[in-house]
Structure 1
Amino acid sequence: MKKAKLNNKDELRQEYKRSDFGEIIRGKYANQIKEESNVVLLDPDIAEAFPNDEAVNKALRYLIEVAKTSSSLTRHSADMT
């Protein structure tokens, strides 16, 4: 059984006309996707320190806890004066 050859021409089929598709705007939805996305890009040196997303999340959760503890200690000592 022969495999069908892939035709990688960058052309429309005859039944389609370019005018049927209207104006093409490159990146039309880029800003909308950027606003709705939760993907965060890490700088290479930061990404090198974390083997996976679980490690990043664990480190950030720890940092949040430290920040909460620090701010509550600061608040208590300020209330005592």
Structure 2
Amino acid sequence: MRDHYDFSKMKARKNPYARLLKQSVTIRLDRDTVAYFKALASRTGLPHQHLINLYLRDCAMRKKEPSLRWRVPRSRSSR
């Protein structure tokens, strides 16, 4: 940076667009899911909420849809 720039008198301002970038939500997750992301967070140095957001964003960008197959238990008489 150049020596003739003087930022000492500059007033700090919050970014007015920052609140538009993220949305606060409440979500209930399984304990083992949270534990997984917290362990991953300790290994990577990133906060676990950030990792969850990255994973969900990747799913959204790839347009992943869950594949759910419900298994209907067979009755004992049909065996």
TM over 0.5: no
Q: TM-score range by the shorter chain?
A: under 0.3
What TM-score, normalized by structure 1, do the two folds share?
0.24
**If the length of structure 2 is used for normalisation, what is the TM-score?**
0.25
Specify which structure has the higher proportion of helix: 1
